[in-house]
Chain A
């Protein structure tokens, strides 16, 4: 763990990413305390530009709602969607990949064709279709994002398991009478973890982008304030009040960038051999 941290720290970008994410998390936690009023409620005249009035540093939007409050509450939604949908995607992808890789043969064929079925459909289009069928509530948004983002997890896990299952320690575990389930859980998966962690950190970023895109199109949960919704609502006034799109856009950019930096740092720290080859 100590060695991991010292390697992670060597990547300056990753540390910056970690700081940004820490700030975003802090905003999400602080939102209900700093802005106890609903982010949907009108607080001032519409189109108040930033830095013009004390108490409303980022101004108001087309309906007179506090932009800063929206930003803080939006951070909650973005992080929640990003994390939960990634966890759900992992929960679908890891078992499918592990079973396919470990058992091989027919099981592998069946599960991988199933995975490819999902992979061949453009993920954003599939998410839109799913949300058109489901109710646009937050949990369905999360589910839709998870459904379109698990196939890469299954592919990655399958590859890792394939290379691990013929290792001698796995054979030794077979010989010592452990059940297949136990071998997968105790011997194989812990060794496949590093690349999964890296992928997961990048998936959170993709999920946040996906949620923003869906909200931008008005397919998100209409009852929660999110960054994507803020951009979508402001796009009609892009020429007269550009900052209304710009501010949440920067928030998305920074968060996604930070997660990607962390992903890269994790990759360096968890696969030290790879890093040596590239530098």
Chain B
């Protein structure tokens, strides 16, 4: 008998939601020591299934049919005290955001000990000893110090290790991992995936792994379930689903994954459109009282490059590498301490006030989060015309231009009178792009512009950007942590590490033949490389 068997499970959404059932007729089984991946885009019901398993469904959402059998007991019929005894002990869960999953005011050791306390196990000294062992096991550096640390003193990857240690504390039989690596860098992601794989082998746990990333699936899954609109559209062995998908949705998702292919460099015109020389940005923050030395973070050091007309330069690196700070210095949301930023021959790194305002239109930005980058209380038409009106265009022609821009980015002009919340993430990002284009800028900076989007939407937005680039001969700086995306859209690539540019050159050279160990490590950490190789082999066999 399987450890876990979900049989024709349906979960009803409250009345007035966009569909009746969050999850419809989902069935699958999971055996001891097996890793099952549930893949799907946002809103596909994958997290809802996991929450139902833990009895953690949001208010108003209830299972309406089916059963969840864990070790012969139907979890849906258990009372709350029975579920409490089960949670953490037999089934435990790790979450997407390691920072919000930890109590910020509690030391790491105490948080792990609390897991034992909640189930009334062991004596306090034993709990502490066990916590230390767990920190060792999940590979945290220097566990004796870490056990006394607070969550904010650890990096994202270390926090996720702590969360995993807590989940493992009572040696659960089933571990549910809900997008555990989505908030992490590629290199950290690779380490966490290794850790989960390793722990699975050592403890014989079953793992239910929820993700949207097929690369991760290829690296870790034994079996895969693909979900769309709350229904399972495909299920099977990982290799089979990935290499020989039968359902069109799976195929579309697989095709949408950007491939590590390179663009040819564009011809460089004589005059660079944007020229950056020795740009420095240092943050100084006073923490821990008057007498301590202020904390100094050199976010960007000696950044130097030229951007030519019609070219796209990618800036890649892990979080904290200074790539976003560099972008913000270029648009002058931040004022760099040193260095020169010349656009069209004029230095804009020091100007302030009205002169700066006049220059803002020449360099525009597309933001990361399509949900917070549009004012929720303004109509799309207002959002698009505000900039033009601020520069003295009259209202009627600004609205004409906005309508035109909407059709350029592939939205219906009727969107003008609607509010941002009426649009999906991908559509909002199109509005964001239209807004950046509204002022006819010479340079566009895209700061992680596709990171928050599902793969299929991401592919559409990337296509749009590529298309706009060709049609309007845009010059762009594309900031991203995803090397595949960078490879797809960028002509040249800057690799940043701790504020410094460690590598700069044509994409094919930087990613195809990296000169530094850091770039190589970034490339190695990309999930799903084995799958890509297998895919290539399959193609060759067919040809």
* Shortest beta-carbon distance from B218 to chain A in Å: 33
Give every chain B residue within 8 A of A179 (Cβ-Cβ).
357, 390
Q: Which of A251-279 contact B (CB under 8 A)?
A: 276, 279
* Shortest beta-carbon distance from B400 to chain A in Å: 17
Question: What CA separation (Å) do A179 and B390 show in the bound complex?
Answer: 8
* Shortest beta-carbon distance from B234 to chain A in Å: 35
**Contact residue among A174, A186, A276 (Cβ-Cβ distance under 8 Å from B59):** A276
Is B368 in the interface zone, CB < 8 Å from A?
yes
Do the beta carbons of B372 and A176 come within 8 Å of each other?
no
Task: Provide the A172-190 mask, 1 if CB < 8 A to any CB of B, else 0.
Answer: 1111111100100011001
* Shortest beta-carbon distance from A278 to chain B in Å: 12
- Chain B residue, CB-CB nearest to A3: B16
Question: What CA separation (Å) do A239 and B386 show in the bound complex?
Answer: 67
With contacts defined as CB atoms under 8 Å apart, how many contacts are there between chain A and chain B in the complex? 66
Do the beta carbons of A168 and B386 come within 8 Å of each other?
no
Do the beta carbons of B377 and A172 come within 8 Å of each other?
no
Is B283 in the interface zone, CB < 8 Å from A?
no
Question: What CA separation (Å) do A171 and B331 show in the bound complex?
Answer: 10
* Shortest beta-carbon distance from B236 to chain A in Å: 39
* Shortest beta-carbon distance from A3 to chain B in Å: 10
Do the beta carbons of A178 and B372 come within 8 Å of each other?
no
Give every chain A residue within 8 A of B387 (Cβ-Cβ).
175-178
Do the beta carbons of B390 and A191 come within 8 Å of each other?
no
Do the beta carbons of B375 and A169 come within 8 Å of each other?
yes
Do the beta carbons of A171 and B367 come within 8 Å of each other?
yes
Is B152 in the interface zone, CB < 8 Å from A?
no
- Chain A residue, CB-CB nearest to B441: A175
- Chain A residue, CB-CB nearest to B367: A168
Do the beta carbons of A169 and B373 come within 8 Å of each other?
yes
Is A167 in the interface zone, CB < 8 Å from B?
yes
Do the beta carbons of B333 and A177 come within 8 Å of each other?
no
Question: What CA separation (Å) do A200 and B414 show in the bound complex?
Answer: 37
- Chain A residue, CB-CB nearest to B368: A168
Give every chain B residue within 8 A of A190 (Cβ-Cβ).
375, 377-378
Binds A, one of B92-100, B242-250, B358-366: B358-366
Task: Provide the B441-463 mask, 1 if CB < 8 A to any CB of A, else 0.
Answer: 00000000000000000000000
* Shortest beta-carbon distance from A52 to chain B in Å: 56
Is B423 in the interface zone, CB < 8 Å from A?
no
Give every chain A residue within 8 A of B331 (Cβ-Cβ).
175
* Shortest beta-carbon distance from B1 to chain A in Å: 39
Question: What CA separation (Å) do A172 and B438 show in the bound complex?
Answer: 12
Do the beta carbons of B333 and A176 come within 8 Å of each other?
no
* Shortest beta-carbon distance from A22 to chain B in Å: 28
Do the beta carbons of A168 and B435 come within 8 Å of each other?
no
Is B376 in the interface zone, CB < 8 Å from A?
yes
Question: What CA separation (Å) do A172 and B369 show in the bound complex?
Answer: 12
Give every chain B residue within 8 A of A177 (Cβ-Cβ).
357-358, 360-361, 387, 390-391, 439
Give every chain A residue within 8 A of B358 (Cβ-Cβ).
177
Question: What CA separation (Å) do A167 and B59 show in the bound complex?
Answer: 29
4 more CB-based (< 8 A) A-B contacts, given A175-B365, A177-B391 = A168-B367, A176-B435, A178-B387, A179-B357
List residues of B whose CB falls within 8 A of some A CB: 59, 331, 333, 357-358, 360-361, 364-365, 367-369, 372-378, 383, 386-387, 390-391, 432, 435, 438-439
